[in-house]
């Protein structure tokens, strides 16, 4: 430290000055101070470096500005970075004034050195542009660094674990939640990469074992990171949600099981009254309607319990030859009152042509499951179709399998398109439960097939079931 040109902060109002300027800094800032000096000597200047200065009341963060001239480093310290910017602008203004004065002096010799003066003027103009560009670049860099700090602060505040991992397993970025979850996670093991790739198209769950069993929902998106293909991965703890869902499903299953006993009494009693000759004909018809309704409710409860078993993987599938044609016609006939109320037309085709008498479309499946699946999807199509539209069911059979395509002219709301087949997902229905499409996919997969949906505002919605 050679000279103290000014000391408005009172840093040197002490009985004994330190031999080195860095002795005025706290220990944590000294290494950063050396980097600051290196940046000044290398680049000619350094702007808005924050270092902790030791004052009598304790360390205080201050902004440092430095520039290199005539083999000396000039250092300016301020409590506010804005004062440094003002000083920096003033220095640039002075530099511009000096440049203008120098150009004015050179122009006086224009008759003697006109060509040299023109070149020199161009050079000075370029120099001024470079100085101004450098100032703008410094300010932009300062703004970018501040923006990066804000973004990083926001990402670290997110409770979900977020990280970027290359195909090799090397982690290039991780927020605080991810660092805590993986204890630093510089590199993921080989067992993680296949799971991450599987979760690019559809989210999945991962069970992590430690002091407690934790279920994590994993989602991944393929991105480009510094010229390499990578995955942006998010993980969140869904243990509590899963436990709550299990409790709700168990209560629902118990309730449905308990319903079957009184429902059996209703069916049995109405059947006895229906067969009794002492009951008038009109009342016997009503008893028959009650009994039929009871059987339908009982069938719905049984189907619901079957879905529970499918979810748990305990359902025992019993298959046989099932003709889809009468099932489809029966399903459409049962929805005829609802379709008529909405002025909808309904149509069935087989292999691209209208149905004819004697047509069959036989598959190896469970008839009750097929009927339940078709009923849910056709009901959805009728409810979603605009008034005056057409609901179509297309059957296609080939050597590779059977396709059942259910079409309507309405579009699925955009906010649920990506989650159309998930449980409890619904939109636009006053009494919708979000179970119909979920159970349809569960049944399709239980039967060894699958289901897909395509939708847009121009062509409407098509749900396609594929059976082997």
**pLDDT (tens digit per residue) in 386-437:** 999 999 999 999 988 999 999 999 999 888 888 888 877 777 665 556 678 8
- Which range among 77-91, 140-154, 169-183, 369-383 shows the weakest confidence by mean pLDDT? 77-91
In the predicted model, is pLDDT for residue 3 greater than 80? no
Task: Give the mean pLDDT of the chain.
Answer: 81
Are 393 and 332 in contact by the 8 Å Cβ rule? The answer is yes
Q: In the prediction, which pLDDT does 298 show?
A: 67
Question: Do 21-153 and 161-237 come out as alike in CATH topology?
Answer: yes
Q: What is the full DSSP assignment across 34-46?
A: HHHHHHHHHHSEE
Residue 142 has pLDDT above 90, yes or no: no
Q: Of 336, 408, 415, 335, whose CA–CA distance to 376 is shortest? A: 335
* pLDDT per position as a tens digit, 428-462: 665 556 678 888 999 999 999 999 999 999 999 99
What's the CA gap between 437 and 256, in Å, rounded?
20
Is the pLDDT reported for residue 124 higher than 90?
no
- Check residue 279 and give its pLDDT: 80
Fold of the domain spanning 161-237: Beta-Lactamase (3.30.450)
Inter-CA distances, 294 with 265, 277, 291, 340, 370, Å: 10, 22, 5, 26, 21
- Residue 116, pLDDT score: 65
* Nearest-angstrom CA–CA distance, 305 and 432: 19
pLDDT, one tens digit per residue, over 191-232 is 677 878 878 866 666 655 455 666 778 888 888 888 888 888
Q: Report pTM.
A: 0.45
For position 348, what pLDDT does the model report? 94
Count CA within 13 A, CB hemisphere, residue 382.
23
- Spell out the domain ranges in the chain: 21-153, 161-237, 241-312, 320-467
Q: Which CATH number fits domain 320-467: 3.30.70.260, 3.40.50.300, 3.40.630.30, 3.30.565.10?
A: 3.30.565.10
Q: Nearest to residue 412, comparing CAs of 462, 446, 452, 372?
A: 462
**Residues 276, 268: Cα–Cα separation, whole Å:** 12
Q: Which fold has domain 21-153?
A: Beta-Lactamase (3.30.450)
Q: What are the strands, taking DSSP E only, across 72-174?
A: 72-78, 161-166, 171-174
pLDDT of residue 324: 93
pLDDT per residue over 235-280, tens digit each? 887 776 667 666 666 656 665 556 656 767 777 778 788 788 788 8
On the 0-12 / 13-18 / 19+ scale of CB atoms within 10 A, 321 is exposed
Q: How far is CA 115 from the centre of its chain?
A: 65
CA dist., res. 349 & res. 395, Å (int): 6
Residue with tokens 């396709």: 403
**Residue 269 tokens, joined:** 């009693």
* Residue 186 backbone dihedrals phi, psi, to 5 degrees: -70, -25
Helices 436-446 and 281-312 cross at an angle (nearest 10°) of 70
Band of residue 381 on the pLDDT scale cut at 50, 70, 90:
very high
CA distance 408 to 385: 6
**Quick one: pLDDT at residue 361?**
92
What is the mean predicted confidence (pLDDT) over 338-364? 91
Computed over its alpha carbons, how large is the radius of gyration of the chain?
A: 38
């Amino acid at each position: 430290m050679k000279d103290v040109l000014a000391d408005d902060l009172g840093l040197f109002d002490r009985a004994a000055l330190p031999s080195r300027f860095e002795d005025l800094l706290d220990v944590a800032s000294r290494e950063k101070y050396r980097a600051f000096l290196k940046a000044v000597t290398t680049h000619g200047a350094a702007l808005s470096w924050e270092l902790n200065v030791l004052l009598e009341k304790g360390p205080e963060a201050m902004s440092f500005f430095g520039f290199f001239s005539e083999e000396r480093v000039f250092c300016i310290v301020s409590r506010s970075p804005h004062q440094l910017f003002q000083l920096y602008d003033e220095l640039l203004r002075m530099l511009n004034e000096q440049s203008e004065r120098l150009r004015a002096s050179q122009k006086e010799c224009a008759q003697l050195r006109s060509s040299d003066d023109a070149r020199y003027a161009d050079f000075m103009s370029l120099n001024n542009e470079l100085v101004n560009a450098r100032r703008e670049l410094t300010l932009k860099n300062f703004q970018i660094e501040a923006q990066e700090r804000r973004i990083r602060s926001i990402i670290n505040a997110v409770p979900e674990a977020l990280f970027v991992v290359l195909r090799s397993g090397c982690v290039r970025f991780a927020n605080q939640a991810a660092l805590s979850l993986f204890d630093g996670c510089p590199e993921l093991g080989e067992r993680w990469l296949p799971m991450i790739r599987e979760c690019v198209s559809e989210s999945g769950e991962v069970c992590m074992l430690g002091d407690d069993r934790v279920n994590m929902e994993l989602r991944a998106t393929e991105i480009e990171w510094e010229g390499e293909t990578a995955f942006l991965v998010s993980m969140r703890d869904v243990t509590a949600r899963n436990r709550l869902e299990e409790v709700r499903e168990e209560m629902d299953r118990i309730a449905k099981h308990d319903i079957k006993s009184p429902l059996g009494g209703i069916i049995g009693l109405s059947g006895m009254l229906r067969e009794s000759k002492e009951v008038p004909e009109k009342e016997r018809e009503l008893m028959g309607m009650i009994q039929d309704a009871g059987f339908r409710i009982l069938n719905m409860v049984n189907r619901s319990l079957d879905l529970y078993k499918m979810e748990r993987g305990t359902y025992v599938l019993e298959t046989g030859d099932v003709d889809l044609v009468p099932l489809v016609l029966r399903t459409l006939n049962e929805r005829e009152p609802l379709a008529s109320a909405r002025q909808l037309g309904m149509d069935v085709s087989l292999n691209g042509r209208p149905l004819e008498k004697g047509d069959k479309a036989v598959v190896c499946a469970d008839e009750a499951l097929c009927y339940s699946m078709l009923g849910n999807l056709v009901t959805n199509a009728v409810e979603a179709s605009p008034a005056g539209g057409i609901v179509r069911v297309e059957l296609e059979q080939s050597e590779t399998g059977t396709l059942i395509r259910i079409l309507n002219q309405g579009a699925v709301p955009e906010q649920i398109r990506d989650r159309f087949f998930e449980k409890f997902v619904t939109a636009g229905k006053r009494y919708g439960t979000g179970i119909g499409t979920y159970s349809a996919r569960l049944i399709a997969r239980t039967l060894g097939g699958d289901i897909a949906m395509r939708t847009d505002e121009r062509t409407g919605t098509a749900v396609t079931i594929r059976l082997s």
